[in-house]
Amino acid sequence: MIKAVIFDFDGIIIESEPLWVEAEIAVFKSIGIELTPELCRHTTGLNTQDTLEYWHGIYKWTGKSIFQVYKEIMETMQVLILERADLKEGYLDVLQLFVDKRLPVAVASSSPLKLITTALKKFHLFEFFKIISSAENEEHGKPHPALYLGAARKLGIDPVNCLAFEDSFNGAISAKAARMKLVTIPDSHDFTSTRFDFSDLKLPSLKEFREKQFEYINSIN
């Protein structure tokens, strides 16, 4: 039985993946590295520190430390979220469904806590969340299950009684490795991919998740 719901943040609550791509491309260009949106997809779902270590392992740039690049990406994202971030279409209805059921809701995200808090306050959603977990406070980020396990522990709910919403492959692996029920909302270019087939439910949009879908997920042993 589902007793709590845990949402990924980027790509589930807010439409931020394009903003991350924009920020990464701009900051990496300042150190002479030409990333593309296609290349940025290689690290979707990873936390920023792991993303930077991944690219540094390939390009081994000099001139700016990994910490400085991290700081510049965070500063750029802070501005972009405040100026241009939108909620994912259908998210408010999904959230209201669980609020009406009095199920505790949480966030488990690879994003830094500051960015999550900034967005939730911007859209007046902060008070709905019992727990906000960021990978920056975990030893391991997604696809390791630590982030989801930590969120469940803080909620006081067994992970097998939690429902996770994810859009990225790394995030989906993380939630399933934590033994949670899983709904995936992949990007359109990933929706037909079979790599998300281990999900309990795969949907093209949050708009497709309603009472019927909740009952189906809740019936799975």
- Which DSSP letter does residue 190 get? T
Check residue 133 and give its pLDDT: 96
Side by side, the strands of the sheet bearing 181-184 are: 129-134, 105-109, 4-7, 162-166, 181-184, 201-202
Of 8, 100, 187, 200, catalytic: 8
Residue 181 has which token pair? 């029920």
Check residue 17 and give its pLDDT: 87
Alpha carbon of 54 to those of 8, 79, 129, 137: distances in Å? 21, 25, 31, 19
- 86 part of the active site: no
Check residue 97 and give its pLDDT: 98
Going along the chain from its start, the domains and CATH numbers come out as 4-15+87-219 (3.40.50.1000), 17-84 (1.10.150.240)
What would the DSSP string read from start to end of 96-133?
HHHHHTT--EEEEESS-HHHHHHHHHHTT-GGGEEEEE
Q: What is the pLDDT of residues 152-192, one digit of tens each?
A: 999 999 999 999 999 999 999 999 999 999 999 998 888 99
**List of the chain residues with pLDDT < 50:** none
Phi, psi torsion values for 184, nearest 5 degrees: -110, 140
Check residue 47 and give its pLDDT: 84
Check residue 188 and give its pLDDT: 85
Between CA 132 and CA 129 the distance in angstroms is 7
- 8 part of the active site: yes
Check residue 139 and give its pLDDT: 86
Between CA 5 and CA 154 the distance in angstroms is 13
